[in-house]
Amino acid sequence: MTSNNHRAQAMVLAAGLGKRMRPITDTMPKPLVPVAGKPMLDHVLDKLAAAGFDQAVVNCHYLGQMIADHVAARAAPMVVTSPEVDLLETGGGVKKALPLLDREAILIANADVFWTEGREALFDRLISAFDPDHMDALLAIYPVADGYGYDGAGDFFWQVDGRLKRRGDAASAPYFFTGVQVLSPRLFENTPDGAFSLNVVYDKALAEGRCYGLVHDGGHFHIGTPEALSDSEPVIARALEIERDKQAAAGGK
Protein backbone atom coordinates (compact mmCIF):
# COMPACT_ATOMS: atom_id res chain seq x y z
CA MET A 1 0.00 0.00 0.00
CA THR A 2 1.33 3.40 -0.93
CA SER A 3 1.54 6.29 1.51
CA ASN A 4 0.65 8.76 -1.26
CA ASN A 5 -1.19 11.51 0.58
CA HIS A 6 -3.22 12.49 -2.47
CA ARG A 7 -5.10 9.20 -2.77
CA ALA A 8 -6.89 7.26 -0.07
CA GLN A 9 -5.67 3.77 0.72
CA ALA A 10 -8.98 2.56 2.14
CA MET A 11 -12.70 2.69 1.42
CA VAL A 12 -15.69 2.11 3.67
CA LEU A 13 -18.95 1.05 2.01
CA ALA A 14 -21.78 3.01 3.63
CA ALA A 15 -24.37 3.44 0.87
CA GLY A 16 -26.75 0.57 1.66
CA LEU A 17 -30.43 0.99 2.47
CA GLY A 18 -30.39 -0.94 5.77
CA LYS A 19 -33.89 -2.31 5.16
CA ARG A 20 -33.61 -5.18 7.66
CA MET A 21 -32.73 -2.71 10.43
CA ARG A 22 -36.04 -0.84 10.14
CA PRO A 23 -37.62 0.98 11.94
CA ILE A 24 -34.27 2.26 13.30
CA THR A 25 -33.12 3.05 9.78
CA ASP A 26 -36.28 4.96 8.87
CA THR A 27 -34.53 8.06 10.20
CA MET A 28 -30.88 6.99 10.40
CA PRO A 29 -28.55 5.24 7.93
CA LYS A 30 -27.41 1.86 9.24
CA PRO A 31 -23.70 2.85 9.44
CA LEU A 32 -24.66 5.46 12.07
CA VAL A 33 -26.59 3.03 14.26
CA PRO A 34 -24.76 2.92 17.62
CA VAL A 35 -23.13 -0.32 18.77
CA ALA A 36 -21.20 -0.42 22.04
CA GLY A 37 -21.64 3.32 22.48
CA LYS A 38 -20.69 4.64 19.04
CA PRO A 39 -21.82 4.34 15.42
CA MET A 40 -20.74 1.24 13.53
CA LEU A 41 -19.04 3.47 10.95
CA ASP A 42 -16.85 5.02 13.66
CA HIS A 43 -15.74 1.59 14.87
CA VAL A 44 -14.44 0.86 11.34
CA LEU A 45 -12.84 4.29 10.90
CA ASP A 46 -11.16 4.07 14.30
CA LYS A 47 -9.68 0.72 13.32
CA LEU A 48 -8.37 2.28 10.09
CA ALA A 49 -6.75 5.07 12.11
CA ALA A 50 -5.15 2.52 14.44
CA ALA A 51 -3.75 0.71 11.39
CA GLY A 52 -2.09 3.92 10.18
CA PHE A 53 -4.44 4.93 7.37
CA ASP A 54 -4.41 8.70 6.95
CA GLN A 55 -7.26 8.92 4.44
CA ALA A 56 -10.38 6.95 3.62
CA VAL A 57 -13.20 7.23 1.13
CA VAL A 58 -16.74 6.67 2.43
CA ASN A 59 -19.52 6.28 -0.13
CA CYS A 60 -23.07 7.27 0.74
CA HIS A 61 -26.55 7.19 -0.76
CA TYR A 62 -29.45 6.55 1.64
CA LEU A 63 -29.64 9.51 4.05
CA GLY A 64 -26.20 10.25 2.70
CA GLN A 65 -26.02 13.83 3.96
CA MET A 66 -26.19 12.53 7.52
CA ILE A 67 -23.13 10.38 6.84
CA ALA A 68 -21.30 13.25 5.11
CA ASP A 69 -22.01 15.58 8.02
CA HIS A 70 -20.93 12.95 10.54
CA VAL A 71 -17.48 12.39 9.01
CA ALA A 72 -16.82 15.97 7.91
CA ALA A 73 -14.68 16.98 10.88
CA ARG A 74 -12.80 13.72 11.14
CA ALA A 75 -9.00 13.92 10.89
CA ALA A 76 -7.89 10.36 11.66
CA PRO A 77 -8.41 9.19 9.06
CA MET A 78 -9.45 12.19 7.01
CA VAL A 79 -12.60 11.18 5.12
CA VAL A 80 -13.52 11.96 1.52
CA THR A 81 -17.13 11.15 0.70
CA SER A 82 -18.26 9.61 -2.59
CA PRO A 83 -21.98 10.40 -2.93
CA GLU A 84 -24.15 8.18 -5.12
CA VAL A 85 -27.26 9.75 -6.67
CA ASP A 86 -28.34 6.28 -7.77
CA LEU A 87 -27.41 3.29 -5.64
CA LEU A 88 -24.45 1.63 -7.35
CA GLU A 89 -24.21 -1.52 -5.20
CA THR A 90 -20.87 -2.59 -3.81
CA GLY A 91 -18.93 -3.02 -7.06
CA GLY A 92 -20.28 0.07 -8.74
CA GLY A 93 -19.62 2.10 -5.62
CA VAL A 94 -15.97 1.12 -5.52
CA LYS A 95 -15.54 1.66 -9.26
CA LYS A 96 -16.96 5.19 -9.01
CA ALA A 97 -14.49 5.97 -6.22
CA LEU A 98 -11.40 4.57 -7.98
CA PRO A 99 -10.08 8.04 -9.00
CA LEU A 100 -9.88 8.84 -5.28
CA LEU A 101 -8.17 5.59 -4.32
CA ASP A 102 -4.76 3.97 -4.31
CA ARG A 103 -3.63 2.65 -7.69
CA GLU A 104 -2.01 -0.48 -6.28
CA ALA A 105 -4.32 -1.96 -3.64
CA ILE A 106 -7.37 -0.87 -1.68
CA LEU A 107 -8.48 -2.01 1.74
CA ILE A 108 -12.29 -2.08 1.72
CA ALA A 109 -14.66 -2.66 4.63
CA ASN A 110 -18.42 -2.59 4.99
CA ALA A 111 -19.55 0.19 7.33
CA ASP A 112 -22.09 -2.02 9.09
CA VAL A 113 -19.87 -4.84 10.33
CA PHE A 114 -18.53 -5.28 13.85
CA TRP A 115 -15.61 -7.36 15.03
CA THR A 116 -13.16 -7.59 17.89
CA GLU A 117 -9.48 -8.12 17.26
CA GLY A 118 -7.51 -11.32 17.67
CA ARG A 119 -3.79 -11.62 18.34
CA GLU A 120 -3.16 -8.91 15.76
CA ALA A 121 -5.49 -6.28 14.33
CA LEU A 122 -7.38 -7.55 11.27
CA PHE A 123 -6.44 -4.60 9.06
CA ASP A 124 -2.76 -5.08 9.92
CA ARG A 125 -2.97 -8.77 9.11
CA LEU A 126 -4.62 -8.13 5.75
CA ILE A 127 -2.08 -5.49 4.76
CA SER A 128 0.82 -7.76 5.69
CA ALA A 129 -0.65 -10.81 3.97
CA PHE A 130 -1.63 -9.20 0.68
CA ASP A 131 0.82 -10.30 -2.03
CA PRO A 132 0.15 -8.48 -5.33
CA ASP A 133 2.38 -10.92 -7.22
CA HIS A 134 -0.07 -13.74 -6.49
CA MET A 135 -3.29 -12.09 -5.34
CA ASP A 136 -5.87 -9.74 -6.74
CA ALA A 137 -8.25 -10.27 -3.83
CA LEU A 138 -7.69 -11.16 -0.19
CA LEU A 139 -10.95 -11.62 1.71
CA ALA A 140 -11.25 -11.83 5.47
CA ILE A 141 -13.36 -14.88 6.24
CA TYR A 142 -14.76 -16.35 9.44
CA PRO A 143 -15.90 -19.83 10.58
CA VAL A 144 -19.65 -20.25 10.21
CA ALA A 145 -19.75 -22.14 13.50
CA ASP A 146 -18.28 -19.23 15.45
CA GLY A 147 -19.96 -16.15 13.97
CA TYR A 148 -22.31 -14.56 16.52
CA GLY A 149 -25.74 -14.09 14.98
CA TYR A 150 -24.78 -15.60 11.63
CA ASP A 151 -27.36 -18.07 10.34
CA GLY A 152 -26.35 -18.53 6.70
CA ALA A 153 -24.92 -21.54 4.89
CA GLY A 154 -21.44 -20.09 4.42
CA ASP A 155 -19.76 -18.63 1.35
CA PHE A 156 -16.40 -20.30 0.81
CA PHE A 157 -14.17 -23.28 1.22
CA TRP A 158 -10.65 -22.31 2.29
CA GLN A 159 -8.16 -24.46 0.41
CA VAL A 160 -4.82 -25.66 1.68
CA ASP A 161 -2.87 -23.05 -0.29
CA GLY A 162 -5.07 -20.22 0.97
CA ARG A 163 -7.14 -19.86 -2.18
CA LEU A 164 -10.89 -19.63 -1.89
CA LYS A 165 -13.54 -21.74 -3.58
CA ARG A 166 -17.20 -20.76 -3.65
CA ARG A 167 -19.81 -22.92 -1.91
CA GLY A 168 -21.47 -23.49 -5.26
CA ASP A 169 -23.97 -26.36 -5.17
CA ALA A 170 -22.79 -27.62 -1.78
CA ALA A 171 -25.35 -27.49 1.02
CA SER A 172 -22.95 -25.49 3.17
CA ALA A 173 -19.43 -24.14 3.38
CA PRO A 174 -17.35 -23.67 6.54
CA TYR A 175 -16.52 -19.95 6.11
CA PHE A 176 -18.44 -16.76 5.42
CA PHE A 177 -17.14 -13.47 4.08
CA THR A 178 -16.83 -10.77 6.76
CA GLY A 179 -17.13 -7.73 4.51
CA VAL A 180 -13.44 -6.80 4.93
CA GLN A 181 -10.95 -7.24 2.10
CA VAL A 182 -8.01 -6.00 0.05
CA LEU A 183 -8.57 -5.69 -3.71
CA SER A 184 -6.39 -4.80 -6.66
CA PRO A 185 -7.92 -1.97 -8.73
CA ARG A 186 -7.11 -3.95 -11.87
CA LEU A 187 -10.07 -6.20 -11.06
CA PHE A 188 -12.38 -3.36 -12.08
CA GLU A 189 -11.10 -3.24 -15.66
CA ASN A 190 -13.86 -4.15 -18.13
CA THR A 191 -16.52 -4.22 -15.42
CA PRO A 192 -20.03 -2.83 -16.03
CA ASP A 193 -20.84 0.84 -15.78
CA GLY A 194 -23.42 1.69 -13.15
CA ALA A 195 -24.60 -0.70 -10.47
CA PHE A 196 -23.02 -4.12 -9.97
CA SER A 197 -21.96 -6.38 -7.13
CA LEU A 198 -18.40 -6.97 -5.98
CA ASN A 199 -19.18 -10.61 -6.73
CA VAL A 200 -18.30 -9.71 -10.34
CA VAL A 201 -14.70 -8.99 -9.40
CA TYR A 202 -14.51 -11.90 -6.96
CA ASP A 203 -15.54 -14.25 -9.78
CA LYS A 204 -12.81 -12.79 -11.97
CA ALA A 205 -10.17 -13.32 -9.28
CA LEU A 206 -11.48 -16.81 -8.48
CA ALA A 207 -11.34 -17.82 -12.14
CA GLU A 208 -7.71 -16.69 -12.35
CA GLY A 209 -6.73 -18.41 -9.09
CA ARG A 210 -5.94 -15.05 -7.51
CA CYS A 211 -8.63 -14.87 -4.80
CA TYR A 212 -7.34 -15.79 -1.35
CA GLY A 213 -8.79 -15.90 2.14
CA LEU A 214 -7.50 -14.91 5.56
CA VAL A 215 -9.32 -16.31 8.59
CA HIS A 216 -10.05 -13.66 11.21
CA ASP A 217 -9.02 -14.88 14.67
CA GLY A 218 -10.99 -12.43 16.79
CA GLY A 219 -14.75 -12.14 17.26
CA HIS A 220 -17.31 -11.37 14.57
CA PHE A 221 -20.89 -10.19 15.14
CA HIS A 222 -23.65 -10.25 12.55
CA ILE A 223 -26.00 -7.35 13.35
CA GLY A 224 -28.73 -7.32 10.74
CA THR A 225 -31.93 -6.50 12.65
CA PRO A 226 -32.99 -4.44 15.68
CA GLU A 227 -33.47 -7.70 17.59
CA ALA A 228 -29.96 -8.86 16.72
CA LEU A 229 -28.60 -5.49 17.85
CA SER A 230 -30.34 -5.79 21.21
CA ASP A 231 -29.26 -9.39 21.71
CA SER A 232 -25.64 -8.73 20.75
CA GLU A 233 -24.99 -5.62 22.86
CA PRO A 234 -24.17 -7.43 26.15
CA VAL A 235 -22.07 -10.03 24.30
CA ILE A 236 -20.17 -7.28 22.47
CA ALA A 237 -19.64 -5.37 25.73
CA ARG A 238 -18.04 -8.45 27.29
CA ALA A 239 -15.95 -9.13 24.17
CA LEU A 240 -14.65 -5.55 24.18
CA GLU A 241 -13.79 -5.84 27.86
CA ILE A 242 -11.75 -8.97 27.15
CA GLU A 243 -10.08 -7.22 24.20
CA ARG A 244 -9.11 -4.24 26.37
CA ASP A 245 -7.73 -6.55 29.07
CA LYS A 246 -5.57 -8.33 26.47
CA GLN A 247 -4.29 -5.02 25.12
CA ALA A 248 -3.48 -3.80 28.61
CA ALA A 249 -1.64 -7.03 29.43
CA ALA A 250 0.35 -6.84 26.20
CA GLY A 251 1.24 -3.21 26.89
CA GLY A 252 2.51 -4.11 30.33
CA LYS A 253 4.99 -6.66 29.11
d(Cα 81, Cα 72) in Å, to the nearest integer? 9
Domain membership of residue 1 (yes or no) is no
Q: How much is the pTM? A: 0.91
Q: Where are the beta strands (DSSP E) in the chain?
A: 10-13, 34-35, 38-39, 55-60, 78-83, 106-110, 114-116, 137-143, 156-158, 164-166, 175-183, 211-215, 219-221
Q: Does the pLDDT at position 3 exceed 60?
A: no
Domain membership of residue 107 (yes or no) is yes
Domain membership of residue 23 (yes or no) is yes
Residue 8 pLDDT level (bands cut at 50, 70, 90): confident
Domain membership of residue 4 (yes or no) is no
Amino acid at 199: N
Domain interval for residue 223? 10-251
The number of distinct structural domains making up the chain is: 1
pLDDT in tens, 160-169: 999 999 999 9
Residue 240 pLDDT level (bands cut at 50, 70, 90): confident
Residue 145 pLDDT level (bands cut at 50, 70, 90): very high
pLDDT in tens, 49-91: 999 999 999 999 999 999 999 999 899 999 999 999 999 999 9
pLDDT recorded at residue 63: 93
* CATH number for 245: 3.90.550.10
Q: Does the pLDDT at position 97 exceed 70?
A: yes
Region 223-234: mean pLDDT is 87
Domain membership of residue 3 (yes or no) is no
Which one has a higher pLDDT value, 210 or 5?
A: 210
- Bridge partner residues of 137 (DSSP): 183, 211
